[in-house]
Amino acid sequence: MITRATRVRITVFVIVALAGIAYVGAEYAGLGRLFGADGMVVRLRLQTSGGIFTNAEVTYRGVAVGRVGAMRLTETGLEADLDIDDSAPPIPASARAVVADRSAVGEQYVDLQPPNGDGPYLAEGSVIEQNRTSTPIPPQTLLSDVDRLARSVPEGSLRTVVNELNTAFSGLGPSLQTLLDSANSFTQAARQHLPQTLGLISDSRTVLDTQQAEADQIKEFSTGLNQLAGQLRASDPDLRTVLTTAPVAAGQIDAILRDAGPDLGVVLANGLTVAQLTETRTKGITQLLVAYPIAIATAPSANPDGTGHLGMVLNFFDPMPCTKGYEGTVQHNGTDPTVSPTNTQAYCALPPSTGVDVRGANNAPG
C-alpha cells in the first residue's frame, strides 16, 4: 500500500517534471508561441525561402531577438512572420533581412542588418520588402555551377598546369620555409613597431589636411605645368634647334674666354662701374643719342665746299620765356654794387607742353 509520504513525493516529482517540460518547450521548442507572441510581429517577404523554417532564430547584429513564426505562400514568393521579443532593442526599419547558414549542415536563420542605428524603427505590422532581403545560393545550384566549371577546364591544360607547378616548386622546400620564416619575422617586427606605425598614420592626417587646404593652389600649379608642357610641345622644333647649335656656341664662347684670360674680368669690372654711373643718367643719354645724330647730319651742309655757309634768324621771345615760378625774385639793378640775396626757390613752374621756353634743372632730360 502506497503511503502518504510516497504519494507526496510522486506528486512533487510530477509537478517538477511538468514545469521542466513546460519551460523547455517554451524556451527551446517555441511552444509558448502557440499561445500568442509576447513581442511584436514583423512580416518578411522573400522570393524564395532560402531554407528558412518555422521557429528558426532571428538575430539583430548577431544577437538573438526572436523566432520565425508562420510562413505563407504568396503570388510573388513567400511571406514569413518574425516574432520579435519584447526584450529586443529598437531595430531600424531600414534593416536588411539576410537568410544565412549557421553551420555546414544547413541550419538557416534570419539576421537583421541595418546600415546604421538611426530610426525609424520596426514596429508591430512592419514589412521588410523583397528588395531588402537576400537568401543563400541553393546547394543544387552551387553544385551544378561547380560541375560546369570543372567540365569547362580542359583536362590536358590542367595536367600541363599541374606539371609546371611541380617543376616550379620541386626542391624549393627549404627556400619556401625561409620565405615563411622571413614573413613571420616581418610580422613580428611590424607588431613590435605598431605604435610607431599608428603614429605615422595619425600624423599623415596633418599632411593630407594640408594638401586639402592647398587644393586650389595645387590645381593652379598643375594648370601652369600643363600650359608649360603645351608650350614646350609647341616649341619642340625651336628647342631642338637650340640644343643642336648650343654646343657650337658654347665652344666659341669657351674659346673667347680662354683667349681673353684674366683681362676679361677687369674689363667686365670696369664696365660695371660705367654702368653704375650711367644708370642715373639714362634719360639724358637717351636725349643725347636722339639729338646728336641730327647735329652731325647738319654739319656737312654748313661747310660743303670748305667755306662756312651760315644763316642767322633772330627769334627773340619766340617762344616766350618762362616767368611763372620766378615771381619772388627781386630785380637787381646792374649799377648797384651791393649784393642782393639769391632766390634759391625760383624755378620754371610751367610744363613743356605749354609751348613756352621752359628752363631749369627740373626740365632737363632724366
| 133/93 same-domain check | yes
**Quick check: 229 pLDDT over 70?**
yes
| 49/124 same-domain check | yes
pLDDT of residue 81: 92
Q: Tell me the average pLDDT of the chain.
A: 83
pLDDT digits (tens, 9 = 90+) for 308-331: 777 777 777 778 888 888 888 888
Asked which of 273, 298, 323 is the last residue of a domain, the reply is 298
The dihedral built from the CA positions of residue 156, 158, 160 and 163, taken in this order, carries a sign that is: negative
Judged on CB neighbours under 10 Å (0-12, 13-18, 19+), 99 is buried
Q: Does residue 278 lie within any of the structural domains?
A: yes
| 211/276 same-domain check | no
How far apart are the C-alpha atoms of 17 and 11, rounded to whole Å? Answer: 10
Q: Are strands 57-60 and 63-74 parallel, antiparallel or unpaired?
A: antiparallel
Let me know the angle formed at the C-alpha of 26 by 22 and 31, rounded to the nearest 5 degrees.
Answer: 100
| 230/271 same-domain check | no
Q: Does residue 230 lie within any of the structural domains?
A: yes
Distances (CA, A) of 153 to 89, 143, 156, 165, 168: 51, 16, 9, 17, 21
Question: Grid coordinates in use for 366?
Answer: 632724366
Q: Does residue 130 lie within any of the structural domains?
A: yes
| 221/263 same-domain check | no
pLDDT of residue 331: 82
| 260/247 same-domain check | yes
Q: Does residue 79 lie within any of the structural domains?
A: yes
Question: Grid coordinates in use for 275?
Answer: 654702368
pLDDT of residue 43: 92
How far apart are the C-alpha atoms of 108 and 111, rounded to whole Å? Answer: 10
Alpha helices in the chain (DSSP H): 4-27, 139-152, 155-169, 173-192, 194-213, 215-234, 236-260, 263-279, 282-302
| 41/90 same-domain check | yes
| 226/244 same-domain check | no
Asked which of 298, 327, 346 is the last residue of a domain, the reply is 298
| 126/78 same-domain check | yes
pLDDT of residue 26: 61
**Quick check: 29 pLDDT over 60?**
no
pLDDT digits (tens, 9 = 90+) for 154-184: 888 888 988 888 888 888 888 888 888 889 8
**Quick check: 77 pLDDT over 60?**
yes
**Quick check: 200 pLDDT over 80?**
yes
Q: Does residue 337 lie within any of the structural domains?
A: no
At 33, is the pLDDT very low, low, confident or very high (cuts 50, 70, 90)?
Answer: low
pLDDT digits (tens, 9 = 90+) for 91-140: 898 899 999 887 766 688 999 989 888 889 888 888 999 899 888 887 78
Which range among 38-42, 221-225, 298-302 shows the weakest confidence by mean pLDDT?
298-302
| 212/279 same-domain check | no
| 227/266 same-domain check | no
pLDDT of residue 327: 85
Q: Does residue 282 lie within any of the structural domains?
A: yes
Which range marks the domain in which residue 285 is found? Answer: 237-298
- 118-156 burial, b if ≥16 CB within 10 A, otherwise e? eeeebeeebebebebbebbeeeeeeeeeeeeeeeeeeee
Q: Does residue 331 lie within any of the structural domains?
A: no
**Quick check: 245 pLDDT over 60?**
yes
Question: Grid coordinates in use for 241?
Answer: 634647334
pLDDT digits (tens, 9 = 90+) for 262-309: 777 778 888 888 888 888 778 778 888 888 888 787 777 777 777 777
Q: Does residue 81 lie within any of the structural domains?
A: yes
| 278/261 same-domain check | yes
Considering just the CA atoms, what is the radius of gyration of the chain in Å? 53
Give this prediction's pTM: 0.38
Task: Give the whole-number percent of the chain exceeding pLDDT 70.
Answer: 93
pLDDT digits (tens, 9 = 90+) for 5-25: 777 777 877 788 778 777 666
**Quick check: 30 pLDDT over 70?**
no
DSSP class per residue in 54-82: TT-EEEETTEEEEEEEEEEEETTEEEEEE
How far apart are the C-alpha atoms of 212 and 113, rounded to whole Å? Answer: 35
The dihedral built from the CA positions of residue 180, 181, 184 and 189, taken in this order, carries a sign that is: negative
**Closest alpha carbon to 40 in 97, 114, 122, 159:** 122
Average pLDDT of the residues in 133-152: 86
Instruction: Count the domains in the chain.
Output: 3
Average pLDDT of the residues in 41-50: 89
Asked which of 140, 163, 178 is the last residue of a domain, the reply is 140
